[in-house]
């Protein structure tokens, strides 16, 4: 039993690190604009398909696709921002429906271009097994974990030390005050969307290397990311990371201790419980219900 | 890219159809396929197989020309029902059903009410033939899949079997049937149902490794799940002797997409690959399929090919007899008795094909010899043998 | 008089359709499916307009209504008219477990309801001894023949749905014009102000959620007996959440007739025109339409109509 738990803890942590990468993008734009980008899952998926294009055309390692994936996701992300900007009334709810519509458009565009075949990496190097003591993983999963940590450290540094990063934080905590301080919130919000695009591109490529992608995957990714965001509470990168790992481990433990058919159920119940009873999330600093 | 080739070849096929000699009598039929939605993967393969069959049939003779209209049922029963109604009102002589018992069920009910012959190769539930529909025909059924797997297990005699099964309809049905029948045959069976949203299978495989200690992992699922399960098994290396799966696994396409995962994996199939000379029809199918879509035949496309050929021939016979307009198709369908890449096809009183039994094929360096049952085997099974 | 013009026009259209297309099973089938979506869109808009809440999970009510009615009619032998009612009540009962979500603000509420829909779908899959699990549930009665009208025929189902949609629209209108409706609208303006006046906001919202769930469950139940087949993936399909949203936004979710007309138009557009243009992936057009509406006319077609009328000085009112 101990061996089982050990492995599922480890597997859960690795899966969780990718949840974190996907969730950070949603958390960032939510922080900056109080807007949930329901098309974020499709952005990640788009990046995954770029990895497929590069790998199948050139035979390179999928990670080589990050620049291309980034270009594509950043452009789409900017387009999403510009559209959201044009919403005049009930911005919070209308943006939800608008980004949802963009998600539908992207899902079907991916279906039209790539058909419904399942895709994943072919690289033997990435698929090979690696063991750490008595626990096992694929190389790609370990790599994704490390990449995820690096990206998060980078994001953390950016938010702390760069002008834009600090401006994002200022706008997140008090939009009016930051405007008085001479920060143009539009520029800052745009920056947040571009960074969310970068995060999506890395997440998508990582996803392609360790899991299987198909066109219908987008909404599931978005929902998972939103669950993580709620568990985390608003306002901290380590919070998102911990919440994502917690979700990954909870899911893996459900499979080990109960049944794999219940994995999604437990995730959703956890989500609702935190939503109802811990309105600030498990790791959040500030209240989020207005 | 693939889509473009597909569109291009469809266009090509249509323009060829237009250019054909005008004396051929055109027979319009209809089909509903899940081209989008959760079953899109299977639906598109079905559509391709059907298009190939139409082309092969139309080129094989010059008296009749079959034309098919396909409607996307979006993997939804209500859309399939309206599709059948539309096809009927547009004058389709018969309906080719799509994929999934849950969609075929209501659609074929409607077809039956309208008095239209309905044939399917993608609905295996026993419920469908228990309804007493007179116009319903199908070429495959759950029992056939079960027989194929049971036969293999009786040859291999593993000390335990772990069934890893998606909770989606068809996989869940097969898994449940197998759990019962294999237990009855005296095997130790453990069932691990999983939510279709799952992507990391390591915790499940680890249970197989440490708790079940089975000699065989049987996967009842779809392509994306197979990839996840085999990867997890490759990483954890449980002490199993073989990895076996259901449909859409022992196909050349799976090997070309995931060569590192497929070696020695066993799955249900009808044709060895490369297709052996003795099966002329199968060979022709593979060749035309490659020509039209630029890829190797798939599992689901073979089913669609056979159902379409069976229907086309019955249509031609009824047209020859001059009874097509007066309901002669039904009688001709019931008379069906032909060999096919799937084995012999006949229909019993409820429209089921009692001969349907599958062989098991094993991935071997890009080839797929049939390894079970012994009667139809084209190669010797490698056992124990694993992808790693 | 002028105010009832759109309603009268819709009614005439509803009567004309079976006369023109009655013999065409395909068109009638599309109309029936479109009206099912119309009923759900109406329920969704009621919650959105009066309750001020956007839900992404109405599929939860739809599925619960469908399963409740199918199971009660098949296993407990309940006559279908009663089981339909039971389905609606079942959905309303289910909405009780969602009451905690009412405290949440916009996006959180929307996605919490989505989580409920997921949970119900998994439960329907797992409780296979009752629901038949993922293999589905097929043998239950169709809509009955009452007083010589065969409701299971296309035209019969159509007539039933027209009446039901009209009834629900009337209920919606009655609520909107009652004190409750006035209070709810005031609440949308300023929740704090109404609290001072002594309106219990949460209680009123709860009633709206219950009513919305009831209507959705009713249409889910009717749909089940029309299609005569159920499985978790279908009964709780995201489409039952998504199509009504698109329909209501397109028609105008602040009006009563907007969602109804929107649903029928959108459904026919998607199935007849979009599918013809793009056999695979035609939902991309729905996505474009939805995005376009939000940006250009967030109040929908009927909303445009109304603003124009309101804009006219001292109009007929």
Span B327-353, mean pLDDT?
88
Residues of B in contact with A6 (CB under 8 A): none
B277-290 pLDDT per residue, tens: 567 888 888 889 98
What is the percentage of chain A residues whose pLDDT exceeds 70? Answer: 97
pLDDT at site B3 = 47
The verdict on a CB contact (< 8 Å) between A276 and C105 is no
- A248 in the Ramachandran plot: left (φ > 0), alpha (ψ -120 to 50) or beta? alpha
In terms of CA atoms, which chain A residue is nearest residue C123? A265
Distances (CA, A) of C91 to C47, C61, C133, C214, C276: 15, 5, 19, 6, 36
Whole-angstrom Cα distance, residue B302 to residue B290? Answer: 13
Look up tokens 């299978």; give the residue: B201
Domains of chain B in start order, with CATH, are 2-140+277-346 (3.40.50.2300), 144-275+359-376 (3.40.50.2300)
Domains of chain A in start order, with CATH, are 2-112+139-277 (1.10.3470)
Order of strands across the sheet that contains B25-33:
B64-72, B25-33, B94-96, B117-120, B136-138
- Which of B202, B230, B296, B300 would you mutate first to test chain A, the one with the most A CBs within 10 A? B202
Position C309 pLDDT exceeds 60: no
Whole-angstrom Cα distance, residue A150 to residue B153? Answer: 48
For residue C146 the two structure tokens come to 């009452």
- Chain C: which residues have CB within 8 Å of chain B? 24-26, 29-30, 33, 122, 125-126, 133-136, 138-139, 223, 227-229, 231, 233-234, 237, 239, 271, 275, 279-283
Whether C214 and C49 have beta carbons less than 8 Å apart is answered as no
The verdict on a CB contact (< 8 Å) between C227 and B127 is no
Q: How many residues does chain C have?
A: 317
For chain A, how far is it from start to end, CA to CA, in angstroms?
45
The verdict on a CB contact (< 8 Å) between A261 and B257 is no
Q: Residues 6 or more apart from B77 whose CB is under 8 A from it? A: B102, B103, B105, B106, B107, C227, C229, C234
Helix (H, G, I), strand (E, B) or coil at B360: strand
C135-165 pLDDT per residue, tens: 778 778 888 888 888 888 888 899 999 999 9
In terms of CA atoms, which chain B residue is nearest residue C31? B82
Return residues 280-309 of C near A (CB < 8 Å).
280-284, 286-288, 290-291, 294-295, 298
Span A131-143, mean pLDDT?
87
The verdict on a CB contact (< 8 Å) between B200 and A211 is yes
The verdict on a CB contact (< 8 Å) between B77 and C234 is yes
pLDDT at site C305 = 67
- Enclosing H/E stretch for B192: strand B189-194
B133-142 pLDDT per residue, tens: 899 999 988 8
Instruction: Verify cis geometry, omega within 30 degrees of 0, for the bond prior to C2.
Output: no
Whole-angstrom Cα distance, residue A237 to residue A233? Answer: 10
Interface size B-C, in CB pairs within 8 Å, comes to: 84
B93-102 pLDDT per residue, tens: 999 988 888 8
Q: Does C191 touch chain A (CB under 8 A)?
A: no
Whole-angstrom Cα distance, residue C120 to residue B223? Answer: 26
Among the listed residues C244, C195, C182, C185, the one whose alpha carbon sits nearest the alpha carbon of residue C49: C185
The verdict on a CB contact (< 8 Å) between A7 and B206 is yes
A174-195 pLDDT per residue, tens: 777 777 777 788 888 888 899 9
Query: What single DSSP character describes residue B139?
Result: S
The verdict on a CB contact (< 8 Å) between C104 and A112 is no
- Mean pLDDT, chain B, rounded, equals 86
- Mean pLDDT, chain C, rounded, equals 85
Q: Are strands B242-245 and B216-220 parallel, antiparallel or unpaired?
A: parallel
pLDDT at site A235 = 67
Burial annotation B350-386 (CB, 10 A radius, 16+ → b, else e): bbbbebbbbbbbbbbeeebbbbbbeeebbeebbbebb
What proportions of chain A, in percent to the nearest 5, are helix, strand and coil?
80, 5, 20
Whole-angstrom Cα distance, residue B5 to residue A285? Answer: 54
Nearest neighbour of B102 by CB, restricted to C136, C223, C279? C136
Whole-angstrom Cα distance, residue B33 to residue B43? Answer: 5
Whole-angstrom Cα distance, residue B177 to residue A290? Answer: 53
C215-274 pLDDT per residue, tens: 999 999 999 999 888 888 889 988 899 889 989 988 988 888 899 999 999 999 988 888
Nearest neighbour of C125 by CB, restricted to B3, B89, B167? B167
Nearest neighbour of A113 by CB, restricted to B3, B167, B195? B3
Helix/strand/coil (H/E/C) assignment for every residue in B5-64: HHHHHHHHHHHHHHHCCCCCEEEEEEEEECCCCCCHHHHHHHHHHHHHHHHHHHHHCCCE
Chain A adjacent subunits, 3+ CB pairs under 8 A:
B, C
**CA of A208, closest CA in chain C: separation in Å?**
23
pLDDT at site B100 = 83
Helices and strands (DSSP H and E) totals, chain A: 12, 2
Whole-angstrom Cα distance, residue A26 to residue B291? Answer: 45
Whole-angstrom Cα distance, residue C48 to residue C248? Answer: 10
- Mean pLDDT, chain A, rounded, equals 87
Position A290 pLDDT exceeds 80: no
Q: Does A239 touch chain C (CB under 8 A)?
A: no
Helix (H, G, I), strand (E, B) or coil at B201: coil
Distances (CA, A) of C259 to A31, A56, C13, C52, C169: 33, 46, 16, 16, 10
For residue A139 the two structure tokens come to 């190389």
Span B318-339, mean pLDDT?
88
pLDDT at site C193 = 62
Residues of B in contact with A120 (CB under 8 A): 227, 258
Chain C adjacent subunits, 3+ CB pairs under 8 A:
A, B
Whole-angstrom Cα distance, residue A177 to residue C138? Answer: 61
B172-201 pLDDT per residue, tens: 889 999 999 999 999 999 999 998 888 889
pLDDT at site A288 = 43
Residues of C in contact with B35 (CB under 8 A): 279-280
Residues of A in contact with C290 (CB under 8 A): 97-98, 100-101, 104
Look up tokens 């693939």; give the residue: B2
Residue B7's pLDDT band, with cuts at 50, 70 and 90, is very low
Position B349 pLDDT exceeds 80: yes
**CA of A119, closest CA in chain B: separation in Å?**
8
Q: Classify the complex by whether its ipTM is higher than 0.90, answering yes or no.
A: no
Longest Cα separation, chain A: 59
Whether A236 and A152 have beta carbons less than 8 Å apart is answered as no
Nearest-5° angle of CA B23, CA B7, CA B28? 35
Domains of chain C in start order, with CATH, are 2-18+28-310 (1.10.3470)
pLDDT at site B19 = 44
* Alpha helix stretches (DSSP H) within chain B: 2-19, 40-60, 77-89, 101-113, 142-156, 169-184, 202-207, 223-236, 252-257, 259-262, 280-293, 299-321, 328-334
Interface size A-B, in CB pairs within 8 Å, comes to: 118
Distances (CA, A) of B61 to A102, B23, B54, B286, B340: 49, 12, 11, 19, 18
For residue C257 the two structure tokens come to 């007739």
Residue B2's pLDDT band, with cuts at 50, 70 and 90, is very low
Q: Residues 6 or more apart from A90 whose CB is under 8 A from it? A: C298
């Amino acid at each position: 039993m101990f061996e089982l738990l050990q492995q599922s803890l480890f597997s859960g942590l690795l899966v969780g690190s990718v949840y974190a990468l996907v969730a950070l993008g949603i958390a960032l734009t939510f922080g900056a604009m109080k807007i949930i980008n329901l098309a974020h899952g499709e952005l990640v998926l788009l990046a995954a398909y770029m990895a497929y294009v590069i790998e199948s055309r050139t035979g390179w390692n999928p990670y080589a696709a990050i620049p291309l994936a980034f270009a594509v996701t950043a452009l789409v992300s900017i387009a999403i921002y510009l559209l959201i900007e044009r919403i005049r009334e009930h911005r919070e709810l209308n943006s939800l429906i608008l980004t949802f519509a963009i998600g539908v458009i992207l899902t079907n565009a991916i279906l039209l271009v790539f058909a419904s075949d399942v895709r994943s990496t072919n690289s033997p190097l990435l698929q090979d097994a690696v063991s750490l003591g008595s626990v096992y993983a694929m190389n790609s999963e370990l790599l994704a974990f490390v990449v995820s940590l690096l990206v998060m450290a980078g994001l953390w540094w950016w938010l702390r030390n760069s002008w834009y990063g600090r401006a994002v934080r200022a706008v997140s905590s008090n939009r009016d005050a930051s405007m008085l301080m001479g920060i143009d919130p539009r520029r800052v919000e745009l920056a947040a969307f571009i960074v969310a695009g970068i995060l999506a591109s890395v997440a998508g490529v990582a996803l392609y290397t360790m899991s299987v992608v198909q066109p219908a995957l987008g909404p599931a990714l978005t929902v998972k990311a939103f669950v993580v965001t709620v568990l985390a509470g608003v306002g901290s990168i380590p919070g998102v990371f911990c919440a994502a790992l917690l979700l990954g481990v909870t899911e893996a433990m459900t499979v080990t201790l109960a049944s794999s058919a219940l994995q999604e159920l437990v995730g959703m119940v956890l989500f609702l419980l935190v939503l109802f009873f811990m309105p600030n999330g498990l790791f959040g600093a500030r209240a989020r219900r207005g | 890219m693939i889509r473009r080739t597909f569109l291009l070849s469809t266009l090509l096929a249509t323009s060829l159809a237009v250019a054909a000699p005008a004396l051929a009598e055109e027979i319009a039929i209809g089909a509903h396929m899940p081209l989008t939605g959760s079953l899109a993967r299977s639906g598109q393969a079905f559509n391709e197989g059907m298009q190939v069959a139409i082309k092969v049939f139309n080129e094989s003779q010059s008296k009749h020309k079959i034309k098919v209209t396909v409607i996307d049922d979006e993997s939804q029963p209500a859309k399939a029902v309206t599709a059948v109604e539309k096809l009927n009102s547009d004058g389709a002589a018969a309906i080719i059903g799509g994929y999934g018992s849950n969609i075929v069920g209501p659609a074929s009910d409607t077809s039956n009410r309208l008095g239209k012959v309905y044939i399917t190769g993608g609905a295996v539930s026993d419920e469908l033939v228990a309804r007493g529909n007179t116009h319903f025909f199908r070429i495959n059924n759950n029992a056939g899949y079960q027989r194929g797997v049971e036969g293999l297990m009786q040859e291999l005699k593993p000390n335990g079997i772990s069934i890893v099964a998606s909770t989606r309809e068809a996989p869940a049905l097969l898994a449940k049937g197998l759990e019962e029948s294999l237990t009855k045959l005296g095997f130790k069976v453990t069932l691990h149902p999983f939510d279709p949203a799952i992507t990391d299978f390591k915790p499940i495989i680890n249970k197989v490794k440490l708790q079940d200690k089975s000699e065989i992992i049987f996967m009842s699922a779809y392509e994306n799940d197979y990839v996840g399960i085999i990867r997890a098994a490759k990483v954890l290396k449980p002490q199993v002797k073989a990895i076996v799966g259901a449909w859409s696994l022992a196909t050349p396409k799976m090997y070309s997409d995931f060569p590192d995962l497929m070696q020695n994996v066993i799955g249900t199939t009808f044709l060895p690959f490369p297709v052996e000379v003795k099966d002329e029809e199968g060979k022709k199918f593979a060749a035309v399929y490659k020509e039209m879509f630029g890829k190797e035949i798939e599992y689901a496309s073979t089913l669609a090919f056979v159902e379409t050929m069976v229907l086309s021939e019955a249509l031609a016979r009824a047209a020859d007899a001059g009874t097509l307009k007066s309901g002669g198709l039904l009688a001709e369908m019931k008379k069906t008795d032909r060999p096919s890449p799937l084995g012999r096809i006949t229909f019993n009183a409820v429209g089921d094909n009692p001969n349907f039994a599958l062989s098991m094929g094993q991935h071997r360096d890009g080839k797929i010899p049939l390894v079970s049952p012994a009667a139809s085997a084209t190669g010797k099974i490698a056992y124990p043998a694993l992808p790693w | 008089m002028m105010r009832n013009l759109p309603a009268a026009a819709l009614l005439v259209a509803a009567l004309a359709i079976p006369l023109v297309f009655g013999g065409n099973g395909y068109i009638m089938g599309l109309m029936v499916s479109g009206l099912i979506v119309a009923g759900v869109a109406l329920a969704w808009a009621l919650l959105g307009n009066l309750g001020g809440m956007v839900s992404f999970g109405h599929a939860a009510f739809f599925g619960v209504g469908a399963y409740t009615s199918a199971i009660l009619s098949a296993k407990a032998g309940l006559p279908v008219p009663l089981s339909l009612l039971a389905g609606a009540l079942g959905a309303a009962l289910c909405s009780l477990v969602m009451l905690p979500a009412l405290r949440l603000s916009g996006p959180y509420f929307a996605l919490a309801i989505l989580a409920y829909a997921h949970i119900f779908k998994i439960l329907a899959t797992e409780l296979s001894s009752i629901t038949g699990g993922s293999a589905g549930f097929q043998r239950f009665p169709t809509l009955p023949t009452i007083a010589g009208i065969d409701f299971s025929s296309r035209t019969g189902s159509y007539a039933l749905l027209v009446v039901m949609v009209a009834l629900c629209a009337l209920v919606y209108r009655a609520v909107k014009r009652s004190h409750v409706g006035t209070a709810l609208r005031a609440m949308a303006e300023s929740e704090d102000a109404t609290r001072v006046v002594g309106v219990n906001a949460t209680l009123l919202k709860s009633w709206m959620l219950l009513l919305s769930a009831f209507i959705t469950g009713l249409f889910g139940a009717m749909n089940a007996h029309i299609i005569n087949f159920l499985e978790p993936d279908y009964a709780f399909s995201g489409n039952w959440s998504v199509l009504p949203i698109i329909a209501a936004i397109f028609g105008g979710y602040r009006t009563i007739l907007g969602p109804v007309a929107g649903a029928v138009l959108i459904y026919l557009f998607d199935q007849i025109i979009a599918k013809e243009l793009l056999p695979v992936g035609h939902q991309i057009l729905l996505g474009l339409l939805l995005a376009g509406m939000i940006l250009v006319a967030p109040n929908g077609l009927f909303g445009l109509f109304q603003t124009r009328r309101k804009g006219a000085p001292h109009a007929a009112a």
